[in-house]
Structure 1
Amino acid sequence: MISTWSEWKRYPKPGRGENIEAPITPGLFEVRIAATGALHSFEAVENVAVALAQLSVGSKSWFGRRETASSPDLEYRTCATSSKADAKAAAERMIGRRETYMSGAA
């Protein structure tokens, strides 16, 4: 079973003491560049919170040390599911819909 998507939230930058707010369950996450809305990352995972915390932005992970100016401002949203299989199935449906939309728009 799939729940609904969360609201878009600002992805925390290192050194600011901000936290990622995400379920510790299987699900989906989507990360986009805030200024343009361009897709940065999208994945079905076993633990959404851990996956977002380990997301690589630039050359290092979120926990790595780097200049904050070198990474783009990102936003993320999450969607919890009851299992990773449900998350993968939902991701495949979403990808199929996007491909259908883009082929019709081209």
Structure 2
Amino acid sequence: MISTWSEWKRYPRAGRSENIEAPISPGIYEVRYAGTGALHSFDAVDNVAQALALLSVSSKSWFGRREAADVPDLEYRTCATTTKADAKAAAERMIGRRETYISGAA
């Protein structure tokens, strides 16, 4: 079973003590660039919160510090599912719809 999508939320920035608000369950996440709406990341995973926390959104310097200027302004939304199989099926349907829309719009 698939639930509904959450509202878009600003992706936490390093050093600001911000938290990711996401289900600790199977589901889908989508991350986009806030300014353009262009897709950054999309996946069906076992644990949405963990996947978003591990998502690499910035580069690191040789000394292990994050470069603030390289961090894009991102937003994310999530959709919880009962199982990872449900998440994968829903993600495949979404990808199919996007491909159909893009091929028809071209």
TM-score by length of 1: 0.93
Task: Give 3-state SS (helix, strand or coil) of 2:76's partner.
Answer: strand
- Find the aligned partners of 1:46 and 1:2 in 2 and give their Cα distance: 14
**Alpha-carbon distance in 2 for matches of 1:93, 1:3:** 15
Cα offset, 1:6, TM superposition: 0.1
Q: Aligned partners of 2:27 and 2:65: how far apart in 1?
A: 28
Partner of 1:36: 36
CA distance in 2, matches of 1:81, 1:68: 34
Change (3 A) 1:4 1:69: same
Structure 1 segments (4+ residues) deviating >3 Å: none
Once the 2 structures are TM-superposed, how far is the Cα of residue 28 of structure 1 from its aligned partner? Answer: 0.2
Could you say which residue in structure 1 is the equivalent of 2:82? 82
Give 2:70's aligned residue: 70
| Inter-CA distance 50–11: structure 2 relative to 1 (3 Å threshold) | same
Gaps of 5+ in 1: none
Letter in 2 for 1:90: A
Deviation at 1:70, TM superposition (A): 1.1
Q: 1:83 Cα deviation (Å)?
A: 0.3
Query: Are 1:28 and 1:45, in contact at CA under 8 Å, matched by a contact in 2?
Result: yes
The answer to whether 1:4 aligns with 2:4 is: yes
Deviates more, 1:51-60 or 1:1-10: 51-60
Report deviation, 1:65: 3.6
CA distance in 2, matches of 1:77, 1:27: 11
What is the TM-score when the length of structure 2 is the normalising length?
0.93
CA distance in 1, matches of 2:49, 2:65: 20
Contact 1:14 1:65 in 2 (8 A): no
CA distance in structure 2 between the partners assigned to 1:41 and 1:14 by the alignment: 18
Could you say which structure has the larger radius of gyration?
Answer: 2
**Count of residues in Structure 1 that have an aligned counterpart in Structure 2:** 103
Q: Is 1:52 aligned to 2:67, yes or no?
A: no
